Chain A
């Protein structure tokens, strides 16, 4: 059943992707200006040279033919060559920038999810207290604040006024100038470490679920294996010669991560609060209390577990950011990831790069939604495909 469902969904994704690529392609070409005008208005190029460039990129063909060619290329995984970084293929540029964005926004989204989940949970549980009102109002303010304003304030306060966090860029050039190390590799290693820790947590959770029925034993297995893996990987980075470079990147990440977390935790918090308030009224919560379960068990095992479903949805919707990277956030922090690539390539009329970045985001979001539908089936037994 499940496999058939996944098959169906992948087919849907393929169809959606064709439509999406078409929209991206025509939207980009609908932009005023365009590469042709840019080339022609450049007085340094002779007409022959202009002609040659236009022909080389196939820009002399009618738009629909260009579209057919592009579509063919996309489905053979060829995203073309960037205009502005000629002759670098779009793939290479994305491969270089994607890890930066993924690292920054995965960390921020995860923190925002857990902070929002935990605070929303306790807000609903402590309904009517002053802390609830204060936190809700603060949450609404940070949720609705004009993002650039918050970023400027953060940069000014932490970067300039207190001077604790570095400004600009994602690494310290003075440090990296002495090495031939590629930052891309470090990013990939950090992501790999995170993935390993995540997998260990998942596996130990499943193992604990399978082999013990006692909550205490389960927790022990889970936390122990997680802590051991974290300690081990920190130690590994510590002794490795590249550890200092990773630390430099992470240090540069603190301020942007903090900012993104502040902007997005409140969404999760408010959804969790509302969902939790609804759940608390349910009869099965009264049953759980009547069973004499400790307050914490009623709150976490019964109320929060059932109330978390809408928050998970919210979390997935915010996953789009993980790849597209908030354009504003990345630009203002000079974090050269996907968001900045998107902005720069659009401004430079670099169709292949802009389209490539957008298509990549689209594929990721579509698959993230598929993943969440599958996760939902595990979280809520009422959902079966």
Chain B
């Protein structure tokens, strides 16, 4: 299998007046053709920083310190903005966190999708572009008639579908869905995620889902990376993550969401807050909140290691967790 996206030791820091904020610290992962991956973590752990680094849509005070992002054989980090513009949307497109506001209120929704098409494929005529938008609308379950409406005439769910249709407009190899359904109610959320998964399989695209909701992600993503305080702390296929979570943070994330099926369990919250990434500590970043922390955890950072086949963890005490999960759940 060919890697569509390969990130190697990506470090992205924000320069603030108070100092450097290490929003993404030593991030590495690869994504293969047709593969879907979930990037999970609390708010402020650097998920969006990673996705914005891939799109190169960083604010002015953000800098990619080191590392590479390979997409289609090119290192995105080194591209000029003009070269990057060719990759944006045609190669990598995005479904944004706040789909409600990601459409310009003064233009028709259809025209905004057509704009993306004609920018990247200047040879496509307006009529052809309109037809493509119509078929995209059908694909995401919208009435093509609605493409001449303005965003405020859409409901929240419809806007989300339109934004998904827009992300598909140029047949990208990779779509980054940043909290694609957070603003929607649970029922619509589920429908849209399932449709997104169906479309992704059908068109054989790669996909990165970003969410704080590990349960939702596990349903649609084949691989999950857990981020904590700017670092990936655990990564494996979603079945392994669910059956044998190795990092205490992953365990915490999973027990803080209710399950519809199965016995009623009390939700376990993770005590404390994620650390301030300004002047990040040089010991394990999860240690202050970790129930299993030992002296070792307070001395140095754990290395990111493969504890079983295709299961990576950055923790000093990953093996005895299974027992603890049961104890917590029971």
Contact = CB atoms under 8 A, between A and B. Distances in A.
Interface of A: 128, 213-214, 282-284, 286-295, 297, 302, 305-306, 379-382
Nearest to B122: A214
Contacts of B89: 290-292
Interface stretch (B36-44, B96-104, B203-211, B273-281): B96-104
Given A284-B101, A381-B152, A289 B126 contact: no
Contacts of A293: 85, 115-116, 119
A381 B90 CA distance: 29
Given A292-B120, A379-B106, A286 B96 contact: yes
Contacts of B96: 283, 286-287, 290
B81 A283 contact: no
Given A290-B88, A290-B89, A291-B115, A380 B106 contact: yes
A128 B57 CA distance: 19
B57 A286 contact: yes
Interface SS of chain B: mixed
Contacts of A213: 126
A293 B116 CA distance: 8
A282 B115 contact: no
A289 B152 CA distance: 21
B55 interface: yes
Contacts of B63: none
Interface of B: 55, 57, 60, 81, 84-90, 93-94, 96-98, 101-106, 115-116, 119-120, 126, 150, 152
B88 A291 contact: yes
A228 to B, nearest CB: 26
B161 to A, nearest CB: 15
A215 B98 CA distance: 29
Given A292-B90, A293-B115, A306 B106 contact: yes
Contacts of A380: 105-106
15 contacts: A213-B126, A283-B96, A283-B97, A284-B104, A287-B104, A289-B57, A290-B57, A290-B93, A291-B89, A292-B84, A292-B116, A306-B104, A306-B106, A381-B150, A382-B106
A219 B119 CA distance: 17
Contacts of A128: 60
Given A283-B96, A290-B94, A293-B115, A382 B105 contact: yes
A274 to B, nearest CB: 18
Contact of A289 (B86, B88, B98, B150): B88
B88 A287 contact: no
Contact of B106 (A290, A295, A381): A381
Closest 5 CB pairs of A and B: A292-B88, A213-B126, A283-B101, A292-B85, A287-B102
A295 B104 contact: no
B98 A283 contact: yes
A302 B107 CA distance: 9
Given A291-B88, A380-B106, A381-B106, 10 more contacts: A213-B126, A282-B101, A283-B102, A284-B101, A284-B105, A290-B89, A292-B85, A293-B116, A294-B119, A295-B81
Nearest to A308: B106
A350 to B, nearest CB: 49
